[in-house]
Amino acid sequence: MLTIYHVPVTRSLRVLWLCNELDLPHEVRTIDFAAAYRASPQWRSLNPVGKVPAMTDGGFTMFESGAMVQYLLDRYGAGRLQPRPGTEDHGRYLQWSWFAEATYARPLGEIVNHRRAFGEGGEIPAAVQEMKDRARLCSEAVDAALQGRDYLLGEEFSAADIMMGYSVMLAQRLASIDGLANLQAYWQRLSARPAYQRAAAA
Ligand SMILES: N[C@@H](CCC(=O)N[C@@H](CS)C(=O)NCC(=O)O)C(=O)O
């Protein structure tokens, strides 16, 4: 049985969303996001750096959201939601999946961390603006890539859209996707999916 350790609006959303798309049975355990709990030996035994999410599959533990998505697809996906490995399409799929977390979500996550560390009103405006500018560049790149297509790989939804969907959600909350019509339509399309909506309500 899969257990997903979840906090609403965090990256565990990606894993729940994927499970819903694949109809994979799973248990959701909502955890306390307080720093003290995340620093506890109990939580650190699941996520060694005290972040969210974590997932267990029987006795196997994982603590990186994109790796969880790929593991679940490879183990239980039966070829769904990703192109065949070793193809150019799969290379594109991997690139957008990694870009979503390593490049796009990074400055956005730092805005959240910065606010948490310095408190409301204690932010360094120039630092926040610099992170927003870097996120905006990513938003523009995804907007351009979506020209003439519904999803990152074309007409077919893939797990890269799940990886990216979370990052776009952060961008529209923390930076802005104003003026980026393709990205806005993409976000509307993704957030209308029943599997996303069930995950967002968890
Ligand atoms: N690359 C990691 C990032 C995990 C991450 O930054 N999680 C956030 C919540 S979405 C968190 O736990 N932040 C608390 C902190 O960094 O102290 C992943 O995708 O799992």
Instruction: Dump pLDDT digits (tens) for 57-66.
Output: 999 999 999 9
pTM score: 0.96
Report, as ranges of residue numbers, the positions in the chain whose pLDDT lies below 50.
none
Q: Which DSSP symbol is given to 84?
A: P
Domain with 95 in it: 88-193
- What's 103's domain CATH number? 1.20.1050.10
Q: Is residue 125 part of a domain?
A: yes
Structure token pair of residue 150 = 């519904």
Specify the residue with its C-alpha closest to ligand 1, atom 2: 64
Q: Kindly state whether residues 187 and 95 are assigned to the same domain.
A: yes
Which atom of ligand 1 approaches the CA of 9 most closely?
10
Residue 52 alpha carbon, nearest atom of ligand 1: 12
What spacing in Å lies between the alpha carbon of 47 and ligand 1's midpoint?
Answer: 10
Query: Residue 185: in which H helix or E strand, if any?
Result: helix 181-191
Strand 2-6 with 54-57, pairing: antiparallel
Q: Name the residue with the closest Cα to ligand 1, atom 6.
A: 51
**202 inside domain:** no
120/179 same-domain check: yes
CB 3 within 8 A of CB 51: no
- What is the whole-number distance in angstroms between the Cα of residue 140 and the centre of ligand 1? 24
- Residue 97's pLDDT is 98
Residues 51 and 101 in one domain: no
Instruction: Check if the beta carbon of residue 53 is closer than 8 Å to that of residue 10.
Output: yes
Q: Give the integer Cα–Cα distance in Å for 83 and 156.
A: 10
Work out how many domains the chain is built from and give that number.
2
The pLDDT score that the predictor gives to residue 120 is: 79
Please choose from 6, 9, 11, 115 the residue to mutate so as to test ligand 1's pocket, defined by most ligand atoms within 8 A of CB. Answer: 11
